[in-house]
Amino acid sequence: MWLVVATIPLAVPSYLAAYGLLAAIPTAQGFWASWLVLVAVTTPYVTLPVSAALRAGTTDFDDLSRTLGAPGWKALLPGTWHQIRGATLAGGLLVFLYTIADFGGVALFRFPVLTTAIQQAYGASYDRNLAALLSMILVAIALVTVYFERRARGRMFTLRTSTRSRSRLVPLSKNNMWLGGVLLFPSFIGAFLPVIVMVSRMFDVGSWQEIRWENLFSSTLNSIVLSFGGATLGLLLALPIGVLAGRFHTKLVSAIESFGYLPLALPGIVVGLALVLFALTSVPALYQTAFLLACAYGLLFMPKAVGTIRHSVRSIPVSLADVSSTLGYSPWQRLVSVYLPLTRNGFIVAWLLIGVTAMKELPATLMLRPTGMNTLATELWAKTDVASYGAAAPYALMLVIVAAIPALLLVRTDLAQQVKS
């Protein structure tokens, strides 16, 4: 239940979460309001990969630390932390890259950042060079951040020596149930508050007449097909990078992985304009097609899968790959017979991250969508842009529902595997 609740903010656009906070606190402006909203909508980027790493880990190291006299949190550092450090740093990197590329949330709070400056420069046709320069600054910031994340990650080899799954689950007791409020806070700010505001506006007089239910159905279907189609392309793009980073530690592989994170630091409008230019000059038949939009989703959010795949591959004992090699397995057979079965959970998490995030992508969708095709994000933006909040409520609710369904499927898959083990 908590994993489903924690995943919901992934489907809520930052500008919608910002609107919910503004409705609750009209005086919210500037840095702290922007910081609170971005923390709320990006927390799942750490929660999902860390929970997957915990399920794949073991308590053997914690138990050993306790037998040596280490109490409580002191047993956590040499045991659990080393098993989740890679997932934690990868999630933190995703949060940072998302934050520096965000536009909608900070724009509503009138907090000036590079993305708002790029949007203004692109809007002013006479100053496109300034927008390109600001975009390069974002790329430079992303490169520096990826470098330090890799240094902090260090040489992380597989620490798991047992084939058993996590052997001890500690339930929450009555004395620490207050932790539930801490777990619920990001989801409340990032998802439930804006939905509550939207629903309250939906019941205003005359709001029901503004809702076009057939358009809601078509927008939902378009969002699901486009976002998870893009997630599939993004997963295929991230697979070789994640596998290389998980099995090899060389300067070339590190450079490839670093450049693989760059698209996430670029605003959607930059990637959208680049693909528009590419389609018009090279492949005109692709212009304003659903495939080009799905490609944009895959390119934009492919980095979200790299860290998760890398950590999943790195958790596989090297001895299994060595044994399969001695048995005459080809690289393709090792991928199908060894890597894919043992990294399935990580792949599901990566696919979920890309797909749910792509649903709320707005700038690239507005630029690349086929004529007449609407998504939940574009309809939500159009309704809130003209202050038609009652008509926007169904689209906000549908985003939350669509995000909760794959998260629930992910939880059921993990629970089923735990029962089998």
pLDDT tens digits for 358-409?
Answer: 888 877 887 788 878 888 888 877 776 655 666 777 887 787 778 767 766 6
In a domain, residue 187? The reply is: no
Opening angle at CA 344, ends 56 and 148, nearest 5: 65
- 198 falls within a domain: no
Tell me what the mean pLDDT of segment 134-153 comes to.
77
Q: Determine the longest span between alpha carbons in the chain, in angstroms.
A: 73
Please indicate, yes or no, if residue 416 is contained in any of the structural domains: yes
More confident residue, 1 or 144: 144
40 domain residue, yes or no? yes
Say how far residue 166 (Cα) sits from the centre of its chain. 25
* Within-domain flag for 201: no
Is residue 204 one of the residues assigned to a domain? no
Q: Flag whether the pTM goes above 0.75.
A: no
High-pLDDT (> 90) share of the chain, % = 5
The total domain count for the chain is: 1
- Can you give the pLDDT at residue 171? 72
Per-chain mean pLDDT for the chain: 77
Q: Is the pLDDT of residue 236 over 80?
A: yes
182 domain-assigned: no
Mean of pLDDT values over 35-62: 82
Which CATH number does the domain housing residue 112 bear?
1.10.3720.10
Specify which of 24-28, 39-43, 325-329, 345-349 reaches the highest per-range mean pLDDT: 39-43
pLDDT single digits (tens) 83-132: 788 888 888 888 888 888 887 788 878 888 887 787 777 666 555 677 77
Task: Give residue 140's domain range.
Answer: 2-159+212-420
What pLDDT is attached to residue 311? 76
Statement: residue 55 has pLDDT above 70 = yes
Check residue 407 and give its pLDDT. 62
Tell me, yes or no, whether 147 lies in a domain.
yes
pLDDT top residue among 175 and 122 = 175
User: Average pLDDT of 252-277?
Assistant: 78
Q: Is pLDDT of 161 > 60?
A: no
